[in-house]
């Protein structure tokens, strides 16, 4: 039999997470569910100081106590990052669930996006996005996450779009992401990632036919030292199911070549939930 008192002594952090999840998932029907959502391009764990340090990345993540995290530029067992399974290691360091979407093979391993969640991930699928002119293969991870027993599961899409000046591939990727959500219009959904484009670009304009950005005015995320452009975003849909409490960029400029963006939202119940 589990000795709860002893377990709390030896594993306080893990049980604190368990208690927080239990409290969240026991919220009564009709009550909004508040979520802290982080999007972070981690540059395979290498900071602008040239130091490879996943513990530092995990510290940045934990500093804002997120519920859901979309990560970009994640290595999985690649030689350049010591053969470490970065998704698994970040899950261990943050005590969160994880899924990984491999988009390209890299130095004996893979490279792609990942999702961390404090809540169970019941389903996930990595969708490849359009690839033009032999560019880097991009993808979007679709996850289904149960955040509360009193409200339907949410969908979190995590992505990293093409970086080249020519925006045709980004535009086609935006269309592909919109087509994915068209198949699931009844579900509350979030989209987070490095879109490699700015407010009022063709990419954002196309996405915003289906999604709403959490910030109405730009919040620069790059260059990391003195940010002047926002290319990292969190979006949501449908508009009547979400209320945005705040969106801000983290004041950390060493751990990666991007600053992370955090949005705090409330998911509102449907009238029949």
- Read off the pLDDT of residues 44-70 as tens digits, 9 standing for 90 and up: 999 999 999 999 999 999 999 999 999
pLDDT band at residue 151 under the 50/70/90 scheme: confident
pLDDT at 8 over 50: no
Task: Please give the pLDDT value at position 271.
Answer: 66
Mean pLDDT of 144-169: 94
Task: Please give the pLDDT value at position 64.
Answer: 98
Task: Please give the pLDDT value at position 184.
Answer: 83
Nearest one of 250, 163, 226 to 198, comparing CA atoms: 163
pLDDT band at residue 183 under the 50/70/90 scheme: confident
Task: Please give the pLDDT value at position 14.
Answer: 46
pLDDT at 165 over 80: yes
Task: Please give the pLDDT value at position 1.
Answer: 37
pLDDT at 11 over 80: no
Cα 151 to Cα 36, 187, 268: the distances in Å are 17, 11, 9
Token pair for residue 55? 């513990």
Mean pLDDT of 185-204: 96
Nearest one of 156, 137, 124 to 37, comparing CA atoms: 156
Q: Would you tell me how many other CB atoms lie within 10 Å of the CB of residue 49?
A: 9
> At residue 93, what are phi and psi to the nearest 5 degrees?
-70, -30
pLDDT at 137 over 60: yes
pLDDT band at residue 15 under the 50/70/90 scheme: very low
Task: Domains for the chain: give ranges and CATH numbers.
Answer: 32-267 (3.60.10.10)
pLDDT at 243 over 90: yes
Mean pLDDT of 115-127: 97
Distance CA 250, CA 234 (A): 14
Mean pLDDT of 236-242: 96
In percent, the amount of the chain with pLDDT more than 70 equals: 88
DSSP state of 79: G
pLDDT at 6 over 90: no
- pTM for this model (two decimals): 0.89
Task: Please give the pLDDT value at position 172.
Answer: 98
Task: Please give the pLDDT value at position 21.
Answer: 45
Q: Write down the mean pLDDT value for the chain.
A: 90
């Amino acid at each position: 039999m589990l000795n709860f008192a002893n377990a709390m002594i030896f594993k306080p952090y893990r049980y604190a997470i368990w208690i927080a999840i239990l409290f969240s998932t026991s919220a009564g029907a009709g009550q909004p569910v508040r979520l802290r959502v982080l999007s972070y391009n981690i540059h395979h764990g290498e900071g602008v100081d040239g130091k490879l340090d996943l513990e530092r990345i995990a510290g940045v993540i934990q500093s804002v106590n997120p519920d859901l995290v979309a990560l970009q530029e994640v290595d999985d067992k690649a030689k350049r990052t010591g053969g470490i399974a970065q998704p698994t290691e970040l899950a261990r360091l943050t005590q969160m669930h994880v899924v990984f979407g491999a988009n390209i093979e890299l130095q004996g391993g893979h490279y792609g996006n990942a999702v961390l969640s404090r809540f169970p991930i019941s389903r996930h699928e990595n969708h490849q996005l359009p690839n033009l002119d032999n560019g880097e293969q991009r993808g979007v991870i679709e996850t289904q996450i149960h955040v509360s027993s009193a409200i339907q599961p949410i969908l979190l899409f995590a992505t990293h779009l093409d970086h080249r000046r020519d925006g045709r591939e980004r535009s086609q990727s935006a269309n592909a992401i919109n087509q994915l959500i068209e198949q699931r219009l009844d579900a509350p959904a979030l989209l987070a990632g490095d879109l490699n484009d700015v407010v009022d670009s063709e990419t954002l304009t196309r996405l915003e036919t289906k999604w709403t950005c959490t910030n109405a005015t730009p919040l620069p995320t790059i260059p990391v030292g003195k940010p002047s452009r926002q290319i990292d975003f969190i979006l949501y849909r449908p508009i009547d199911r979400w209320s945005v409490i705040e969106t801000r960029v983290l004041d950390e400029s060493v751990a990666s070549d991007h600053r992370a963006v955090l949005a705090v939202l409330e998911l509102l119940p449907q009238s029949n939930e």
